Structure 1
Amino acid sequence: MHFPILVTSVTQTLSQTTRLRTLGMSAEIAARLRTMIEEGELPPGARIDERAFCETFDVSKTPLREALKVLVSEGLVLHRQYIGYRVAPLDLEELRATFETLHGLEALAGELASQRLGTADMVKLERRHQAMIDAHAAGRRTEYFRINQEIHQLIIDGAANPVLASVYATLMSKVHRARGAANADMLRWQESHEEHEAIMAALREPGRPRLAQVLRWHSENTAKEVLSVVERSLAESGRLVNSKTAA
């Protein structure tokens, strides 16, 4: 008499287990796609080919679509019926305003860090800088970009101002994806490398009198390139739309 209840219970348990496994896979896929988007591997406006990504991640469409729903909710991906998924475009004006604010925060961080960075902080910075040099020499762009961000964060941490750190983190999250896209430009990659050498030279100077100025200069150069890449991308997208309409 109790067998139907037992079978139902087992079926429900198996269903729940499958669902949890799918959710776990989708979370991992979402994390990997998020990194690809933020680091420029999937540029703004890029089409997300579901079949290709299912093959890449060796999964069915179910966990992939669960992951894409998460990224849609985060604003990183757009979904249109009959069209599919695309990486969300960037807002040029918001980026411009965010960078203007970041220039000031970088300079402020330099002023505070010039007084508060200790020996242990410099040891960490020197190690990460060397790791960045190695990544640059080996052509490991993604690794270089990650270490680059770590160095900026170490300087922010060295400023020892939690309010500054919080505001900086919020604003950096807004430009991180755009920076990743611009970092794909090889010329800017070399320029950024040279600018980081200048930052380290300013950090090593007694009293660090130039640190704030050099950090602001680097931030302004980065913004100029990032905004140029985004503007060019948006213009190209506009031309594509116009050409399709004309056709």
Structure 2
Amino acid sequence: MSVTQALPKTARLRTLGMSAEIAARMRTMIQEGELPPGVRIDEKAFCEAFDVSKTPLREALKILVSEGLVLHRQYIGYRVAPLDLDELRATFETLHGLEAHAGELVAQRMSDGALAKIERRHQAMIDAHAAGKRTDYFRINQEIHQLIVDSAANAVLSGIYATLMSKVHRARGAANADMLRWQESHEEHEAIVEALREPGRPRLARILREHSENTAREVLRVVEASLAEPNVAPR
């Protein structure tokens, strides 16, 4: 019987609720690059950071292990799961084509309402960039990409794109921590919005593909480097 199972029911519910909250916070840290692939998870440091005992922390880690985000080895401990570079390369290659195809369809099908919504989110992204809010910027960036693809009015394309983007989300978060690429990505998004506003949108497909290729290049570079990073503690 585990320690959690041995607790009274009310105490166990509190522990499980706390574990879910910790898991959610750590999941975000992993997906957005604050905890890079391959890094060791220092249980003592995380217990201190979250002000919890080891029991809810380990329950949270079990959740993340079940999701494939964390690995556990007896006597060694927990580590953020590494990323499969070959799978990432193949996924990005497919995304490049989807971005370009979406651009071709969007050029014909985007509604004024869809463009207005993208422009509003783009302004929110500019504000996040000006304020140095990297995490907010990254979330809005991802949202804008999906909004553009959704504007192609092709449900199959939108679904495939969302599925593949979920596979590279964690890797994109790691790359977004690079400040130089952050600025470059910001400039590329400005070019995308300009292309969306053009009559007929003749440059859109090309610009979307180039942006995807630039992102992939940086993501793969950062992921390879992150595998050799030293252990980190939560902030």
Do both share a fold (TM > 0.5)?
Answer: yes
Identity across aligned pairs (percent)? Answer: 82
Pick from 108, 129, 135: which aligns with 2:122?
129
Counterpart residue number, 2:146: 153
1:232 CA displacement: 2.6
Match of 1:205 among 164, 187, 198: 198
Match among 31, 48, 54 for residue 55 of structure 1: 48
Range that drifts further, 14-23 or 93-102:
14-23
1:121-200 alignment, distance < 5 Å: 121-200=114-193
Which whole-Å CA distance do the structure 2 matches of 1:168 and 1:155 have between them? Answer: 11
Report the alpha carbon displacement of residue 231 of structure 1 after superposing the two structures with TM. 2.2
Structure-to-structure mapping, 1:1-247, within 5 angstroms: 15-234=8-227, 236=228
Give ranges in structure 2 of 5+ residues lacking alignment: 231-235
Larger Rg: 1
SS at match of 1:48: coil
Deviation at 1:108, TM superposition (A): 1.2
Cα separation, 2, equivalents of 1:97 and 1:31: 28
CA deviation digits over 1:46-65, x for unaligned, max 9?
11111211122222211111
Q: Would you identify which runs of 4 or more consecutive aligned residues in structure 1 move more than 3 Å?
A: none
Q: Matches of 2:146 and 2:36 in 1, distance apart?
A: 24
Which region of structure 1 is more displaced relative to structure 2, 225-234 or 122-131?
225-234
Q: In the aligned structure 1, how far is the partner of 2:210 from the partner of 2:23?
A: 35
Normalised to the residue count of structure 1, the TM-score between the two structures is: 0.87
Provide, for residues 150-177 of structure 1, a one-character-per-residue CA deviation record: whole Å limited to 9, x for no partner.
1101112211211111111111111111
Q: How many pairs does the alignment contain?
A: 225
Report which structure shows greater RCO (CA 8 Å, sep ≥6): 2
**Equivalents in 2 of 1:116, 1:81: separation in Å?**
54
Matched to 2:218, the amino acid is E
- Note the residue ranges of structure 1 that are not aligned, 5 or more in a row: 1-11, 241-247
- Name the structure with the higher helix share: 1
Q: Which TM-score applies when normalising by structure 2? A: 0.91
Q: Distance in 2 between matches of 1:153 and 1:169?
A: 7
